[in-house]
Chain A
Amino acid sequence: MIGLSHMLIISTALFFIGVYGFLTRRNMITMLMAVELILNSVNINFIAFNKYLYPGKLEGVFFTVFIITIAAAEAAVAIAIIINLYRHYKSIDSEDADTMKF
């Protein structure tokens, strides 16, 4: 029987994979994908809690749908930023975009 804790383990794993990817990859597209992973781990959490703890309710599902929508918009904005950065630096390496410092 697959229980709540299995779901949470999956989402935790996904979360840390996302964090790891975000911190280690220099390619900004990859970093964006890592952020998506983090978001999806949150989505899994919502669905899992909704299903196992409050089966009769729909708030978790709504939230998940909402987050997916936002994530789509956010991806569009992020890619627009990345394209602009690329035009400016001729690179999408996050190490190169380091002019905002002391």
Chain B
Amino acid sequence: MPGPLYIALIPLLPLITFAIISLVGNRYFPKFTGILGTTSLAISATISLFTAWQYFFVEGSVNGVYQQIISFKYTWLEFSPNVSIDMGALLDPISVMMIVVVTFVSLMVHIYSLGYMKGEERFSTYYAFLSLFTFSMLGLVLSSNIFQIYIFWELVGVSSYLLIGFYFDKPSAVAASKKAFIVTRFADLGFLVGILLLAFHAETLDFQTLIQRLSTPGDYLNGIISASFLGVSALTWGLVLVFIGGAGKSAMFPLHVWLPDAMEGPTPVSALIHAATMVVAGVFLVARLFPIFAMSCPVALDIVACVGVFSSLFAAIIACTQTDIKRVLAYSTMSQIGYMMFALGVSEYGENGLGYMASMFHLFTHAMFKALLFLGAGAVIHYVHSNEMKDMGGLRKFMPITHITFLIACLAIAGIPPFAGFFSKEEILTAAFHSNKLIFGLAVTTAAITAFYMFRLYFSIFWKSEHHPHHGDDHHGEGPKTMLIPLLVLGLLSIVAGFAPFHHLVTSDGHPLHTEFHLLFAAGPVLLAIIAIIVAMVMYKKESALPGKISEGLKSIYQAAYRKFYIDEIYLFVTKGIIFNLIGRPSAWIDRNIVDGFMNMMATVTENFSDTIKPIQSGKLQLYAVWFFAGLMGMVLLFIYLWA
């Protein structure tokens, strides 16, 4: 059933804005570009809200089951009648939910940036990039074709690269943008191979057909399962490779190294790209292919769960030791995405699809409160001109609105009822509890650590030392209204988003899910979180020697966590020490001495030979004539004696 065509406007408006700003806006009306970008995105957001309304409450469900609707589909590149790359829009609960999240958070960030980026030299370039990113991300979530998602996947990578390296005169920002691009590109290689593998066996690139063929028993499924490589079936390979692509984008261990460094970009960008939208693309991808994962290949789903829960705990531990507030938030993002991943990993398709629903729910609430956290952090950074926690403290008096909204977000992420994070986290924990007790245990631990480090952050910024080092800046106040309004809106949503009836709306098969709420079950994690908050309060509310003593006591672990468990060093060792020495240098030697050598040899031989024969070209006319006559005579003699 064809859907409404106006869906196309949602991604196209930011694209048009991008074109206008970068082609003419940059030169003729740089001050106005911010307003232009925000307005067009506001329209886009309105349309997507309307779409969501239409989809969820008017025409999306048939007999209470949400359908997948192809809104429009345009064949872009046809390889054969059944294999083609299409550009289209596929509406189903997750993509509709995602367009709302993306346009909404993006709108908030656009508004916020009007204040935050005011006076920047490349203000209009910034808005052009934001529009490009929004376009790519919307294209990604609406993709109806696995190759279309790959194209937009790369586009979000590029816009993320451009925005991380926005302050390109800072060497660290350049290094970070390169790192982000290379690491995700490396993961995308896996994604591409995965796509090709799946598409080769399913003989289609279209999502609906692909999922249908690979998740229901039949020739295609048998074919891909019986084809094996290194003792593992092609289906598992394909799904794991696709997951590697998703893990790279979503900063899952061990491909997470780019995310903390990506914080070099402007803070609103971190809020939009590296917290709320782009980094959850990996989760979205797994969710998109979820029927295949769940029904045909539980092994791949187990891998997703393991990677997710490990990354979650790993990042949470690192986050406790970092001192740069944006880095703490980056690791917390990684940890929360790990949550979404393992929620998918422990889920099943259909009736027992609680994890799937919880994962999408968490994605939704996380987008709200994490964007709020980043924007709040941006306001703080704007105020104190530093990213370091030690430069902050006692800010609650100077920044009351930021303080309140940041507190709301912290409570939300810590999972304290009735804030948004509580509901989604509780669903995830329930799903994990019914599936795997080990994962459940790790998840609860992570939840407690999360509460601890978020409140460490909160108390360090807003309480702790009462004398504020930047008294001179007091007069400029908390920030312009454009920065405060998004904080308030997101703060409000962080309180109420948890009440969204997700189990009716977003489920793996479109059927509403019946969830039960156990008070006792929910109380445990909440109690743990409260204890963690109290611990953080004791340690960080006032200036005290306690944190120093504890880090001294756990010196080796603390150091390891502070240095991010040496993952960067391992990468450097592997690349510089092993790959460069064992592969790079020999290849360079072969290139220089054998490939180039062969070419040089050809050149040398030619040169020497021509050196030998060039005296024939003496410039002496009569010498040429001698050669000529000698040749002629030779011909004549041959002619006479051989003619016969």
Contact = CB atoms under 8 A, between A and B. Distances in A.
Interface of A: 19, 22-24, 26, 31, 94-95, 97-102
Interface in B477-525: none
A60 B37 CA distance: 92
Given A19-B629, A23-B629, A102 B615 contact: yes
A22 B625 contact: yes
A24 B617 CA distance: 19
Contacts of B619: 97-101
A89 to B, nearest CB: 12
Contacts of B614: 102
Interface string B610-637: 0000110111111001100100000000
A102 B617 contact: yes
Contact of B618 (A19, A26, A94, A101): A101
B626 A23 contact: yes
Q: Which residue, of A98, A99, A102, has the highest number of chain B Cβ atoms within 10 A? A: A102
Contacts of A97: 619, 621
Given A23-B622, A23-B629, 11 more contacts: A22-B622, A26-B622, A31-B622, A94-B620, A94-B621, A94-B622, A95-B620, A98-B620, A99-B619, A102-B614, A102-B615
B611 to A, nearest CB: 9
A95 to B, nearest CB: 7
A62 B586 CA distance: 77
Nearest to A28: B621
Contacts of A26: 622
22 contacts: A19-B629, A22-B622, A22-B625, A23-B622, A23-B626, A24-B622, A26-B622, A31-B622, A94-B620, A94-B622, A95-B620, A97-B619, A98-B618, A98-B619, A98-B620, A98-B621, A99-B619, A100-B619, A101-B617, A102-B614, A102-B615, A102-B617
Contacts of B629: 19, 23
A23 B625 contact: yes
A24 B629 CA distance: 13
Contacts of B626: 23
Nearest to B633: A19
A56 to B, nearest CB: 29
Nearest to A101: B619
A94 B621 CA distance: 7
Contacts of B625: 22-23
Contacts of A95: 620
A55 to B, nearest CB: 27
Nearest to B626: A23
Nearest to B629: A19
A93 B609 CA distance: 32
A23 B618 CA distance: 15
A1 B622 CA distance: 40
A26 B621 CA distance: 10
Contacts of A98: 618-621
A17 B605 CA distance: 43
Nearest to B621: A94
A29 B202 CA distance: 86
Nearest to A26: B622
A8 to B, nearest CB: 15
Q: Which residue, of B618, B621, B629, has the highest number of chain A Cβ atoms within 10 A? A: B621
Contacts of A94: 620-622
A36 B571 CA distance: 85
A24 B626 CA distance: 10
A78 to B, nearest CB: 13
A31 B614 CA distance: 26
A71 B620 CA distance: 24
Contacts of B617: 101-102
A94 B267 CA distance: 82
Interface string B267-296: 000000000000000000000000000000
Q: Which residue, of B615, B617, B619, B626, has the highest number of chain A Cβ atoms within 10 A? A: B619
Nearest to A95: B620
A101 B614 CA distance: 9
Nearest to A19: B629
A31 B619 CA distance: 16
Contacts of B615: 102
A24 B625 CA distance: 10
**Complex A-B, nearest 10 residue pairs according to Cβ-Cβ distance, in ascending order:** A101-B619, A98-B619, A102-B614, A102-B617, A94-B621, A101-B617, A100-B619, A23-B622, A101-B618, A98-B620
A18 B270 CA distance: 93
A22 B617 CA distance: 19
A31 B617 CA distance: 20
A100 B614 CA distance: 12
B228 to A, nearest CB: 66
A26 to B, nearest CB: 8
A41 B615 CA distance: 33
A31 B622 CA distance: 10
A31 B621 CA distance: 11
Contacts of B621: 94, 97-98
A37 B109 CA distance: 97
Nearest to A94: B621
A29 to B, nearest CB: 14
Nearest to B618: A101
